[in-house]
Amino acid sequence: MNVGVSRREHWRGRNEIVLKIVGRRLPGPFDFESPSVFPVSRQVRRQPLGYDIRAMLKIIDMEFTERERAEERERVAARERRLVAEAGEATAKFRAIFDQSSIFSGVLSVDGIVVDANRICLEACGYTADDVLGLKFWETPWWRGSEEVKEKIRVATIEAAKGRAYREELPYWCADGSERVVDFAIHPVRDESDEIIFLHPTGMDITERMQTELELRTTRAELEERVRERTAELNKANESLRNLSARLLHIRDEEARRLARELHDSAGQMLSAMAMNIASIASQAHKLDERGAKAMEENSALVEQISTEIRTISYLLHPPLLDELGLRSALTWYVEGFSERSKIKVDLEIAADFGRLSTERETAIFRIVQECLTNIHRHSGSKTAVIRILQENDRLTIVAEDAGKGIPADKLGMRPDGQAGVGFRGMAERLRYLGGNLNLKSNANGSVVTATMPLEADDSSRA
């Protein structure tokens, strides 16, 4: 029993079992029938009654040691098998990912030799492993179509081996000779100690994307071209419309001038003749009866009246003063007549030494003032108006101001859809033709119409 006690100190668990058994069963035979409870050999189990316990413990000890070694060996082997299996599994997973990836992926040694290339690198391009493995990366058939691309790949590989990644969209070639485009990159791969252990080139085929982009760009360029063409056509149409309206305005002015002259020269002259005839009859009025003398007097007054009206109409159509003496006189005459007819007090401000301008400009300015005053009379309700003609820094400005109810907001925009009348649009057209512009300002206290135009060199020559 002493042996058992001393062994307990070293092999506690195991000897406890032994001692328990010894204590329980001594001196009878051991019941070692269940090897799972006490797994010793048949030799121990077959010990007869009255055995030598010391010898038996020695055998047990030996058997345990041997069993333990075997178990240890088995554990090591199992661990090894597990590790190998795990490694195999990991490799298979990596291979599956590597090969089934839709991205070109390869492995290069640090000096640029192709060590591995995934399936898409080979199959999609029509190459076999033999075509590429073992070659310098830049000498592989993917880059065979261009010396420049080969050189780029060579430099990129060397740079990657120095730790610098590289990326560029490059052309590459398939076995059938077709050229495609790849979004190519090459990265260094490092181990735990930060040393570069291999290079990892990757790529994504972007041929279709590039084609779509190209088609889109082409379509867009075509569309832009068409828009440019249409815009040019529209501009041309607008230009010819403007020219037409400028021409129409010019024709209207000429027509007015011709009509004015006609009225003045033919009807006016005839009326003058008629007045002279009436005057000669009047000298013999004593020969007429009372009714005849009255009718003659009335005729004389009527002829006088018609004469005056015809002259007014003729002058309004085209004031002869405009051609003869210029704007200042023509405007002064017109404003006076307007005030008288409309009962609107008009203040005309124009320099006393206002010079002559080209016929075109003088006519335009006269017509603009005429239209402004007509508008004030027809629409504003104002009892006063101010017309200012200013000339400064080679620019002429016409300002027409009233103290009326203001121009309605929708008319202020002068939209070409017919909201504004012919008046404003005609003014704007005249001014545009002469390189100027029209500005309308208005509120509940009145309106200010401002027209400006540049003065040209030829204008001062008539001064």
Ligand X SMILES: Nc1ncnc2c1ncn2[C@@H]1O[C@H](COP(=O)(O)OP(=O)(O)OP(=O)(O)O)[C@@H](O)[C@H]1O
Contact residues toward ligand X (CB under 6 A) are 375-376, 378-380, 402, 404-408, 411, 420-424, 447
Cβ(406)–Cβ(379) below 8 Å: no
In angstroms, the CA 341 to CA 335 distance is: 10
118 binds, among ligand X, Mg ion, none (CB under 5 to 8 A by kind): none
Between 60 and 376, CB nearer to ligand X:
376
The H or E element containing residue 182 is strand 179-190
- Which range touches Mg ion (CB under 5 A), out of 83-91, 258-266, 374-382, 441-449? 374-382
Task: Report DSSP letters for 254-272, one per residue.
Answer: HHHHHHHHHIIIIIHHHHH
Nearest approach, Cβ of residue 423 and Mg ion (Å): 3
407 binds, among Mg ion, ligand X, none (CB under 5 to 8 A by kind): ligand X
Nearest approach, Cβ of residue 378 and Mg ion (Å): 7
CA 57 to chain centre: 95
Build a one-symbol-per-residue string for 225-244: x at contacts with Mg ion by CB under 5 A, - elsewhere. --------------------
Does residue 167 sit in helix, strand or coil?
A: strand
Between 106 and 423, CB nearer to ligand X:
423
Between 149 and 428, CB nearer to ligand X:
428
In angstroms, the CA 223 to CA 233 distance is: 15
Q: How far is CA 127 from CA 97, 123, 140, 145, 300, in A?
A: 20, 6, 10, 15, 117
Cβ(370)–Cβ(387) below 8 Å: no
- Identity at 342, one-letter amino acid code: S
**Look-up: residue for tokens 């554990």?**
75
Contact between 404 and Mg ion per CB under 5 A: no
Using CB under 5 A, which residues numbered 71 to 100 contact Mg ion?
Answer: none
Between 118 and 370, CB nearer to Mg ion:
370
163 binds, among ligand X, Mg ion, none (CB under 5 to 8 A by kind): none
Between 49 and 409, CB nearer to ligand X:
409
Between 15 and 370, CB nearer to Mg ion:
370
104-108 β-sheet, strand order: 114-117, 104-108, 196-205, 179-190, 166-173
Region for residue 326 given its phi and psi (left: phi exceeds 0; alpha: psi -120 to 50; beta: otherwise): left
260 binds, among Mg ion, ligand X, none (CB under 5 to 8 A by kind): none
Omega of the bond leading into 27 within 30 degrees of 0 (cis):
yes
Nearest approach, Cβ of residue 261 and ligand X (Å): 24
Nearest approach, Cβ of residue 420 and Mg ion (Å): 9
Between 263 and 372, CB nearer to Mg ion:
372
380 binds, among ligand X, Mg ion, none (CB under 5 to 8 A by kind): ligand X
Using CB under 5 A, which residues numbered 405 to 434 contact Mg ion?
Answer: 421, 423
In angstroms, the CA 139 to CA 159 distance is: 16
Among 375, 380, 382, 447, the residue binding Mg ion under the rule CB under 5 A is: 375
Region for residue 148 given its phi and psi (left: phi exceeds 0; alpha: psi -120 to 50; beta: otherwise): alpha
In angstroms, the CA 274 to CA 250 distance is: 35
Task: Report DSSP letters for 190-255, one per residue.
Answer: E-TTS-EEEEEEEEEE-HHHHHHHHHHHHHHHHHHHHHHHHHHHHHHHHHHHHHHHHHHHHHHHHH
Q: What are phi and psi of 38, to 5 degrees?
A: -140, 85
Between 174 and 412, CB nearer to ligand X:
412
**By Cβ distance, which residue is nearest to ligand X?**
421
Nearest approach, Cβ of residue 432 and Mg ion (Å): 18
Between 161 and 373, CB nearer to ligand X:
373
411 binds, among Mg ion, ligand X, none (CB under 5 to 8 A by kind): ligand X
Nearest approach, Cβ of residue 379 and ligand X (Å): 4
Contact between 4 and Mg ion per CB under 5 A: no
β 166-173/384-392 pair status: unpaired
Between 188 and 426, CB nearer to ligand X:
426
- Which range touches Mg ion (CB under 5 A), out of 15-23, 189-197, 226-234, 367-375? 367-375
| Interface positions with Mg ion (CB under 5 A) | 375, 421, 423
